[in-house]
Amino acid sequence: MVNIKDIKKAALLIAPHIHRTPVLTCKAINQMAGCSLFFKCENLQKVGAFKMRGATNAVFSLTDEEAARGVATHSSGNHAQALALAAQLRGIPAYVVMPTSAPAVKKAAVAGYGAEIIDCEPTLQARESTLEAVVDRTGAVFIHPYDNERIIAGQGTAALELLTDHPDLQVVMAPVGGGGLLSGTALSTRALASDARVIAAEPCGADDAARSLEAGHIIPSVQPNTVADGLLTSLGQLNFPIIKKHVKKIWTVQDDEIIAAMRLMWERMKILVEPSSAVCLAAVLKHGQELENQKVGIIISGGNVDLDHLPWIES
Amino acid sequence: MVNIKDIKKAALLIAPHIHRTPVLTCKAINQMAGCSLFFKCENLQKVGAFKMRGATNAVFSLTDEEAARGVATHSSGNHAQALALAAQLRGIPAYVVMPTSAPAVKKAAVAGYGAEIIDCEPTLQARESTLEAVVDRTGAVFIHPYDNERIIAGQGTAALELLTDHPDLQVVMAPVGGGGLLSGTALSTRALASDARVIAAEPCGADDAARSLEAGHIIPSVQPNTVADGLLTSLGQLNFPIIKKHVKKIWTVQDDEIIAAMRLMWERMKILVEPSSAVCLAAVLKHGQELENQKVGIIISGGNVDLDHLPWIES
């Protein structure tokens, strides 16, 4: 199982290639929340998301021989861009399987980082079989977006930095989709601040992680529906045991609460965050009575939004 | 005349009350610009603007006797909020004269920081006579938004921090309206990086500073018209001599160029900047051939925008 040594090793390995993102505070939001929030701004990370950490760790951990064959993944989100850029930084090929339904702007971003895009039908089965064919053809190493130890170790470096800057945090929060960020965050927090609680947050419309934690086994995400489109996936096999062991609770929030928290962060903190990144603040504002007067770290996962279609503006 | 000692003194005085804002870089924008840009993010400052620096210096420089009577200003912009918050932090009254035409949201923000708002007709004459009456009645100290030595010293602390973090900058840029930020920036740059050039930028629709610098005397701003509504005012008497002495040139840009640069910063840097803050980047993208491969610092002035009315979305 991944441990804090892997995370510290990842931190050293990726440091030359990523941003050390700032931790921001906002008095007005603290007053509304009744606690002191410390936001780790991974929206200001390269490619606009924490995904750069795990992808960079995975790519730079490869042997020269493995690396020469390149890396491959299926994703229409931030992981695809992150893997493409990390591969570009190492000077190796990247192959990204994307559904034909993916927005042109996302394909352009991945292609802009020099990756080869392979189209597939927009079904999970088509994604997996297309990926398999690509790996067979190229010999590239498949880098799963979250169910991968090096990805988990890389994502854990965000909380490592946060707790290095603010060792007295009493709670650390992260949103949960597949569980890559959350499992890495939990491991770093347990190691660096053993008394701090790890709390996750997810949309009511994609609450498979909350139900899985309650049931004690992975319950897959079926037809999730939420504005927080980074949190649709089911928990990974490597991620769930870590989450089960270290995460106290998973709060759920409605989409209108997510949008309100997102707008609040834009207005008061002057940063772009994507809906998935506002889920933790929405949860604090809704469920946070028990956080009163505590010091709470929140990982802001990313800032990739379509500026022509903001969720609070009718289009 | 204000000097670097005043700026260093201001930095110490205001440090407990303001954010030390991060300096961000963005590879994608550097590639477009052909130079290395270092953005000092005063949009992430308290009240969302560099104005907090000058206002805090002015308020905390008052003697106890002066402070007890409070501070007053006329402004409908970021200075009003900054002065209100700085006064609240010192626990003294603030009186802000605002035109009846000021947006309700701006009045609410100023009132939210505990200031007393005094309405006036939306003319310069009414603002000045109303302010005079307020000062007569209360004995409050008038704090001009830019034509004030303590304001200039406070605004200069942004460049002081920027050059402390990045002492090898070859150019430092700031937008110019009344000249408070630009004059403070010029003084800090001259003292900390004597070989660095100071370059300003302003909208074509409010190019009084560029014309003033060329003429060698202040040419007032007459009926300015630009999306960059923080840069409408004429240069101050204390600001112009500093600018004339230390500023190499003032580049001008069109509103469509400002909006494009603003959107670029939102999309690629994941931060909210107001149009006035995008004027420097717009100028670099337009005029910056001579900055090729240089290290250029840019002060981002603020991030206060109306999220219901973004300039690139038809409403």
> pLDDT tens digits, residue range A292-302?
999 999 999 99
pLDDT at res. A74: 93
Domain limit, last residue, from B83, B117, B142:
B142
Q: Are residues B259 and B157 in the same domain?
A: yes
| Residues of B with Cβ-Cβ distance to A309 under 8 angstroms | none
How is the beta sheet containing A71-74 ordered, strand by strand? A116-120, A94-99, A71-74, A141-142
**Pair A59, A96 in one domain:** yes
- In sequence order, what are the beta bridge partners of B117? B96
* Average pLDDT for chain B: 96
| pLDDT tens, residue by residue, B203-214 | 999 999 999 999
pLDDT in tens, B77-95: 899 999 999 999 999 999 9
B293: left (phi over 0), alpha (psi -120 to 50) or beta: left
Answer yes or no: do A313 and B312 touch at CB < 8 A: no
Question: Using CA atoms, how far apart are residues B174 and B159, in angstroms rounded to an integer?
Answer: 9
> Looking at the structure, do residues B28 and B126 belong to the same domain, yes or no?
no
Judged against a pLDDT cut of 90, whether residue B287 lies above it is answered with yes
Task: Choose the mutation target among B89, B270, B313 for the interface with A, i.e. most A CBs under 10 Å.
Answer: B270
Closest partner residue to A266 (CB to CB) among B24, B267, B307 is B307
Instruction: Name the more confident of B124 and A181.
Output: A181
Q: Do A158 and A253 belong to one domain?
A: yes
Does the residue A211 lie in any domain? yes
Mean pLDDT value across residues A10-15 = 98
Locate the chain B residue with the closest alpha carbon to A307: B267
Give the pLDDT mean for A21-31.
Answer: 96
What's the domain count of chain A?
Answer: 2
Residue in chain A nearest B265 by alpha carbon = A272
Cβ-based burial of A114 (10 A; exposed 0-12, middle 13-18, buried ≥19): middle
- When pLDDT is cut at 50, 70 and 90, the band that residue B315 belongs to is low
B79, B113, B142 - which closes a domain: B142
- Return the minimum-mean-pLDDT range out of A87-91, A250-254, A267-271, B104-108: B104-108
Query: Torsion angle, CA of B309/B312/B313/B315, rounded to 10 degrees?
Result: 60
Dihedral, CA atoms, A202, A203, A208, A213, nearest 10 degrees? 40
Cβ–Cβ < 8 Å for A233, A207: no
Q: What is the pLDDT of residue B102?
A: 85
pLDDT digit string (tens) for A200-233?
999 999 999 999 999 999 999 999 999 999 999 9
Q: Pick A231 or B75 by higher pLDDT.
A: A231
For residue B309, the model assigns a pLDDT of 87
Residue A56: how many CA atoms within 13 Å on its side-chain side? 27
Residue A48 is classified by DSSP as G
Which residues of chain B have a CB within 8 Å of the CB of A310?
307, 310, 313
Alpha carbon B166 to its chain's center:
21
Within this chain, do residues A180 and A272 fall inside the same structural domain, yes or no? yes
Residue B312 is assigned to a structural domain of this protein? no
Q: Which of A142, A163, A183 is the last residue of a domain?
A: A142
Question: Do A141 and A66 meet the contact criterion of CB atoms below 8 Å apart?
Answer: yes
**Inter-chain CB proximity A270 and B308 less than 8 Å:** no
Specify if B315 maps to a domain.
no
**pLDDT for the residue B98:** 94
What is the sign, positive or negative, of the torsion defined by CA atoms of A153, A154, A155, A158?
Answer: positive
Residues of chain A contacting B49 with CB distance shorter than 8 Å? none
Residue B180 lies in a domain: yes
Residue A157 and residue A12 share a domain: yes
- At B66, list the tokens: 């002066």
A48 to chain B, any CB pair closer than 8 A? The answer is yes
Residue A309 has a pLDDT of 87
Judgement on whether residues B278 and B178 belong to the same structural domain of the protein: yes
Cα(B243)–Cα(A26) distance, integer angstroms: 34
Chain A residues with CB under 8 Å of B19 CB are 25
Q: Tell me if chain B has a CB within 8 Å of the CB of A267.
A: yes
Token output for A196: 């701090």
Which residue, among A262, A215, A268, A213, has the nearest Cα to A239 in the 3D structure?
A: A213
> Given this model, what pLDDT does residue A103 score?
83
Mean pLDDT of chain A: 96
- Total residue count of chain A as it appears in this document: 315
What would the mean pLDDT of B278-298 be, rounded to a whole number? 96
Give the torsion sign (CA, A44, A46, A51, A54).
negative
Model confidence at A279, in pLDDT bands (50, 70, 90)?
A: very high
Interface test with B, best of A89, A270, A312 (most B CBs within 10 A): A270
Whether A268 and A134 share a structural domain:
no
Task: Confirm or reject contact between A168 and chain B (CB < 8 A).
Answer: no
Question: How large is the average pLDDT for residues B193-212?
Answer: 97
What would the pLDDT profile of B229-246 be if each residue is shown by its tens digit?
A: 999 999 999 999 999 999
Task: List the domain range (segments joined by +) for residue B13.
Answer: 4-49+149-300
Q: Indicate if A134 and A195 belong to the same structural domain.
A: no
pLDDT at B106: 85
Provide the CATH number for the domain around residue A128.
3.40.50.1100
Q: Is residue A9 part of a domain?
A: yes
Contact call for B312 and A308, based on CB within 8 A: yes
Contact residues on chain A for B273, CB-CB shorter than 8 A:
270
Confidence of residue A105 (pLDDT cuts 50, 70, 90): confident
Q: Cβ–Cβ of A27/B46 closer than 8 Å?
A: yes
Minimal C-alpha gap between B271 and chain A (Å): 4
Angle formed at CA B33 by CA B27 and CA B37, multiple of 5 degrees: 55
Same domain membership, residue B275 and residue B224: yes
The pLDDT-based confidence of B1 (bands split at 50, 70, 90) is: confident
Give pLDDT tens digits for A183-198: 999 999 999 999 999 9
Whether residue A303 lies within 8 A of chain B, CB to CB, comes out as yes
Is A97 in contact with A134 (CB distance < 8 Å)? yes
The pLDDT score that the predictor gives to residue A193 is 97
- Cα–Cα distances in angstroms (integers) from residue A185 to residues A55, A160, A303, B59, B212, in the given order: 16, 8, 19, 42, 55
CA atoms within 13 A on the CB side of B279: 35
Interval B162-177 mean pLDDT = 98
In a domain, B314, yes or no: no
A44 near B CB under 8 A:
yes
Task: Output DSSP code: residue A236.
Answer: P
Domain annotation covers residue A240: yes
The reported pLDDT for the residue numbered B270 is 97
Residue A314 lies in a domain: no
Task: Indicate if A176 and A256 belong to the same structural domain.
Answer: yes
Which pLDDT does position A315 carry in this prediction? 57
Residues A109 and A195 in one domain: no
How would DSSP label each residue in A187-230?
A: HHHHHH-TT-EEEEEEEGGG-HHHHHHHHTS-----S---S-TT
Chain A residues inside the 8 Å CB shell of B17: none
| pLDDT tens, residue by residue, A30-56 | 999 999 999 999 999 999 999 999 999
B269 contacts in chain A (CB < 8 Å): 44
